[in-house]
Amino acid sequence: MSDQRSDALQNTGADALPESTIPHIENLPAILADVAARSQDMLRDFSQRHAIDPEWMDSAVSEMNINDIVGVPDTFAELARQMIADPEHLAQAQMKYWENGLKLLNYFSARLAGQTPDPVAQAKPGDRRFLDDDWSEDPYFDFLKQQYLLFTQWVDDLVDCTAGLDPQERKKARFFTRRLTDAMAPTNFLLTNPQALNETIETKGNNLIRGLEMAIEDMEHGHGRLDVRTSKRGAFELGENLANTPGQVVFRNDLIELIQYEPTTDKVRKTPLLVIPPWINKFYILDLGEEKSFVRWAVEHGHTVFIISWVNPDESLKHKRFENYLTEGPLAALDAIEKATGEKKVNAVGYCIGGTLLGTMLAYLADQGQEERIKSATFFTTLLDFSDVGDLSVFIDEDTISRLEEHMKDNGLLTGREMSSTFTQMRANDLVWSFAVNSYLLGREVRPFDILHWNADYTNMPSEMHAFYLRNMYLENRLREHGGIEILGVKIDLAKVKTPSYFLATKDDHIAPWRTVFESSRLFKGPSKYVLAGSGHVAGVINPPSRKKYCHWTNNAKANDPKAWFEGASQHPGSWWSDWSKWINRHAGKKDQKLRKPGKGELKALCAAPGTYVKKRSD
């Protein structure tokens, strides 16, 4: 670094170079040498423990390679061919990159001379990687940051402007080149991260030793795969500080446990509430302890709440199909609730894919003349129209799904860890790199984080069910067609559904884009209310009023498109829960019914909530 400063001094004519913001940087070589010596025994012991462990190696190499499934090598090869075929664009992009590079050199020279010019490149809003003061106060790290940002912009320009690329190939190329540039960020490496350098010098390298210990622990936890921790392990226990709303499992079959919660009010509303969570993760996202629990909040507002807890399927359940998830899931729950309470009708809530299943069930019941069994239907961040699925579209095409189907033939399942890796790649900076830097470079234990603990508690997918869902919904968008899919011999037609519905979307949702949720809300024949909340797919939904976070938008006027709806919408501070409460109470009846104790009706209690299915982990 001293040679670089001397060159810069000669080039700028400055009398003196600014000091680095990193104190005692001259001690770094000795510290790193000491860290290398201290870490040798740890690495040797780790290597010896697993050198002759075949199960360790098998688990590490047998997992699905998402890049191969999506066909990333072919995408990059096609990108290269099209770039070569369009040399003019390539030259223009290169010239722009050089011009910006010269601007950056002039900026750097001005900073070394004590001036404060406007930056050439700035991080996008929401990019938290460069928040540390050193990235702007130290001219050398400022230069490094902006050089990286210009490079990423150049890569984006190459992909976005290369003619001849198929739209799907362009999406893939854009997505995976950004994953590469994310990985190359200077924040991810010790010698180019000022915060990590400061920590290393201040602790004399103890942060790196602790980081190596955590990396080894994460490798052990991932059975050969680096399973980057996102929440403090051991901080949460189901039934204690998560999924702790009192209740009983009152029904069980191969796929579900049905939990009925203990009432906490003097009287309850007539119509029970059935909650259908997604089966990609565990149900307790809706019961995140006392402060964030949607379930507990609904119970406190006088609802008799039932929730489906999906099993985490193993190979014994690999034959289960989408129609099994319907019949053994919400349809079976309806019959069980009638036995438990004597009520034939329920208000139903579906979250994400649980909402897709709910919409399918409504159309099925309408065909069977039983639509009255659902008095109202609420959909949390649910797609029924899959015309725009956001970042997930990268993984949706015929070749990708065919390769995935071939992969799932091996054991009849898509493992939860493989599924999780797909969603993790969509938010790599937030879910991988930020935590890797925190743990391995800074040597700091992560905080207990309930949502990220839940996010890592993934489940397996039976192959036939998952392939049906991907093909018919995501790839071919057949659910929105009249009779586009057939379930149990019934052609599913959402236009037959007259049930009142409430659709919640979230503005920053990268899984169920709010505009597509709006289009989904228009597919039923019955009255529908659409509400938009702040934040994303999870935080926007799990937002109790007591937290006073985010905001939500409502618009009672009819609109033909999401843009017109939003332009005419009113913004309200805080949670949407209170708005939904007013809506659902019109369908739930007054609080004048006697209390319904779990296990006191025709269905007996099988075990205490949260039950047994939720505790089975994929790993």
Summarised one tens digit per residue, pLDDT across range 333-362 is 999 999 999 999 999 999 999 999 999 999
Every domain of the chain and the residues it spans: 2-203, 247-392+478-615
Residue 80 neighbours by CB distance under 10 Å: 12
Query: Over the stretch 507-558, which tens digit does the pLDDT of each residue have?
Result: 999 999 999 999 999 999 999 999 999 999 999 999 999 999 999 999 999 8
| Per-residue buried b or exposed e for 316-335, using 16+ beta carbons within 10 Å of the residue's own CB | ebbebbbbbbbbbbbbbbbe
Q: Residue 21: pLDDT above 90?
A: no
Is the pTM higher than 0.85? The answer reads yes
Q: Given pLDDT bands bounded at 50, 70 and 90, which one contains residue 126?
A: confident
Q: Point out the catalytic residue in the list 161, 352, 551, 607.
A: 352
Q: Given pLDDT bands bounded at 50, 70 and 90, which one contains residue 88?
A: confident
Which 3 state secondary structure label does DSSP give 524? coil
Residue 43 neighbours by CB distance under 10 Å: 12
Q: 390's torsion region: left (phi>0), alpha (psi -120 to 50) or beta? A: left
Mean pLDDT of the region 216-237: 90
**What is the per-residue pLDDT for 63?**
60
Average pLDDT in the chain: 92
**What is the per-residue pLDDT for 8?**
42
Mean pLDDT of the region 121-134: 93
pLDDT-wise least confident of 45-49, 94-98, 577-581: 45-49
What is the fold of 247-392+478-615? Rossmann fold (3.40.50)
Q: Residue 1: pLDDT above 70?
A: no
Check the CA dihedral 236-237-241-242 and report its sign.
positive
| Residue of higher predicted confidence among 328 and 291 | 328
**What is the per-residue pLDDT for 601?**
84
Mean pLDDT of the region 441-451: 96
563 touches 509 (CB < 8 A): no
Is 352 assigned a catalytic role? yes
Q: Residue 35: pLDDT above 90?
A: yes
**What is the per-residue pLDDT for 52?**
67
**What is the per-residue pLDDT for 389?**
94
Q: Nearest Cα to 31, choosing from 271, 203, 231?
A: 203
Mean pLDDT of the region 121-128: 92
> Alpha-carbon distance 22 to 31, whole Å?
14
Check the CA dihedral 141-144-150-152 and report its sign.
negative
Q: Is 208 exposed, middle or buried (0-12, 13-18, 19+ CB in 10 A)?
A: buried
